[in-house]
């Protein structure tokens, strides 16, 4: 709905901050999708997302920008990377991380979330336009 309807209404914008309805409808669609897939565990999923955002924000503030003004990039980079890492963790946890032993399941979950958060944070912080760079790499490699 966001891409087909709302984005076409707002496509005459010059700045990303002008796309108000696109981000609102993407957020609503994410919450509705989570509710549809998780059912009764929806509030637990929201708690995982909230904790992921908090952990990511604190990690960005401590690791990447350790000064007073570092809170600004930690907000703009840490919060979205926390949401993306939390959503990917929920998908991974629901599909792949099943184990009867609680200790092994906890270790699997902790290591999976840590790896996801590190990869996503590095991509958000140092990646730049990495999709363009990957496509240019393959174009240059094919041209040789």
What pLDDT is attached to residue 51? 92
pLDDT confidence of 115, banded at 50, 70, 90?
very high
pLDDT higher than 60, residue 1? no
Q: Contact 56/79 with Cβ under 8 angstroms? A: yes
* CA distance linking residue 79 with residue 60, whole number of Å: 9
What pLDDT is attached to residue 100? 75
pLDDT higher than 80, residue 60? yes
Q: Contact 112/88 with Cβ under 8 angstroms? A: no
- Any idea which of 61-65, 78-82, 96-100, 111-115 has the lowest mean pLDDT? 96-100
Provide mean pLDDT across the span 109-133: 82
SS3 sequence, the chain? CHHHHHHHHCCCCCCHHHCHHHHHHHHHHHHHHHHHHHHHHHHHHHHHHHHHHHHHHHHHHHHHCCCHHHHHHHHHHHHHHHHHHHHHHHHHHHHHCCCCCHHHHHHHHHHHHHHHHHHHHHHHHHCCCHHHHHHHHHHHHHHC
pTM metric for this prediction? 0.70
38-48 pLDDT tens trace: 888 888 888 98
pLDDT confidence of 8, banded at 50, 70, 90?
low
């Amino acid at each position: 709905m966001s891409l087909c309807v709302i984005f076409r209404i707002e496509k005459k914008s010059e700045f990303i901050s002008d796309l108000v309805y696109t981000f609102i409808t993407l957020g609503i669609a994410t919450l509705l999708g989570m509710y549809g897939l998780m059912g009764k565990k929806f509030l637990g999923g929201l708690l995982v997302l909230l904790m992921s955002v908090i952990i990511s924000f604190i990690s960005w503030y401590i690791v990447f920008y350790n000064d007073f003004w570092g809170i600004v990039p930690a907000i703009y980079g840490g919060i979205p990377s926390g949401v993306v890492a939390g959503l990917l963790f929920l998908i991974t946890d629901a599909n792949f991380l099943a184990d009867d032993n609680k200790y092994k399941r906890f270790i699997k979950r902790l290591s999976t979330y840590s790896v996801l958060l590190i990869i996503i944070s590095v991509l958000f912080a140092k990646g730049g336009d990495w999709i363009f760079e990957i496509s240019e790499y393959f174009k240059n490699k094919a041209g040789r």
